Amino acid sequence: MAEPGASKGMIYAGTSGWAYPTWKPEFYPEKLAQKDFLRYYASQLNAVEVNYTFRHMLSEKTVSKWLAETPPEFRFVIKAHQTITHIKRLKGAEESLRRFIASVSLLESSARLGPVLFQLPPNLKADAGVLRDFLTLVPKALRCSFEFRHVSWFTPEIYDILAERNCALCVAEDDDLATPDVTTANFAYYRLRKTAYSPEERTKIRDRVHELAASHEVFAFFKHEDTPEGALHARELLAAEARKA
């Protein structure tokens, strides 16, 4: 499988959400009001993965508020709605996809939209034809990443289908499953969701991300939940890049 051409890219790092008072005081200042969380988050990190959109369509009012609270270089990475991935399971999803894309159009027109994450259910087995047909519905300008959670998807045929459309294989890991670290687009996408990461593991992640950033944009998101470690790890990753620069 030939790797798509790419130019040197940015490293974007963050977590899958920001509205967590329990991140005080290690990440958020103790007296920071919750309404100011996103503004502060965006002063420390440069991207967020939005899981809210898995169950809800974004409103223009919400997006406008986000844009006002974050700098121009900040990126919102959006998880596709569950109707597309879990109810339709990529089949007959044209109308659902159209509505979802319309809901993120303001982010796109503002040049603040990162990749869209299509997270498939764990019991959905590989079907190359379904994936290929679905990708014909996706606008070519929309950057997409696919998180497969059944091992049958991890094959050269699937990687080639993604590469043909410059879609990234989401390299996701948790305590039970690890996706092969295969690059299929001119950007890379990591979901780092193990319960804990040792300093040695974080160093390995940092080295891999910096290696890829020589020729790709890289998006890396740590697990959020109720403790601040993910946000701190993401900040550490960006700080390492700043020192390197």
> Residue 20 CA to chain centroid, in angstroms?
19
Asked, for residue 81, whether it belongs to a domain, the answer is yes
Structural contact between residues 135 and 163, judged by C-beta atoms closer than 8 angstroms: no
Residue 242 confidence (pLDDT): 65
Asked, for residue 178, whether it belongs to a domain, the answer is yes
CATH number, residue 145: 3.20.20.410
The pLDDT profile of the chain, 245 residues, written as one tens digit per residue, is: 333 333 467 999 999 999 999 999 999 999 999 999 999 999 999 999 999 999 999 999 999 999 999 999 999 999 999 999 999 999 999 999 999 999 999 999 999 999 999 999 999 999 999 999 999 999 999 999 999 999 999 999 999 999 999 999 999 999 988 899 999 999 999 999 998 999 999 999 999 999 999 999 999 999 977 899 999 999 999 997 766 65
Asked, for residue 90, whether it belongs to a domain, the answer is yes
Structural contact between residues 80 and 116, judged by C-beta atoms closer than 8 angstroms: yes
Asked, for residue 164, whether it belongs to a domain, the answer is yes
Transcribe 138-185 into DSSP letters.
S-TTS-EEEE--SGGG-SHHHHHHHHHTTPEEEEEE-SS-B------S
Which helix (H) or strand (E) segment is 75 a member of? strand 75-79
Q: Which domain holds residue 199?
A: 11-244
Asked, for residue 4, whether it belongs to a domain, the answer is no
Asked, for residue 202, whether it belongs to a domain, the answer is yes
Asked, for residue 71, whether it belongs to a domain, the answer is yes
Q: Tokens 């869209």 belong to which residue?
A: 116
Asked, for residue 3, whether it belongs to a domain, the answer is no
**Count of the separate structural domains present in the chain:** 1
Q: Using CA atoms in the order 80, 83, 86, 90, what is the torsion angle rounded to 10 degrees?
A: -80
Structural contact between residues 92 and 120, judged by C-beta atoms closer than 8 angstroms: no
Three-class secondary structure of residue 80 per DSSP: coil
Three-class secondary structure of residue 23 per DSSP: helix
Q: Is the pTM of this model over 0.85?
A: yes
| CA-wise closest residue to 80 among 111, 46, 108, 57 | 57
Residue 9 confidence (pLDDT): 78
> In sequence order, which residues have a C-beta less than 8 Å from that of residue 211 and are 6 or more positions away?
none
CA dist list (Å): 78 to 21, 46, 127, 158: 22, 14, 24, 22
Q: Tokens 């899981």 belong to which residue?
A: 51
Which helix (H) or strand (E) segment is 42 a member of? helix 37-44
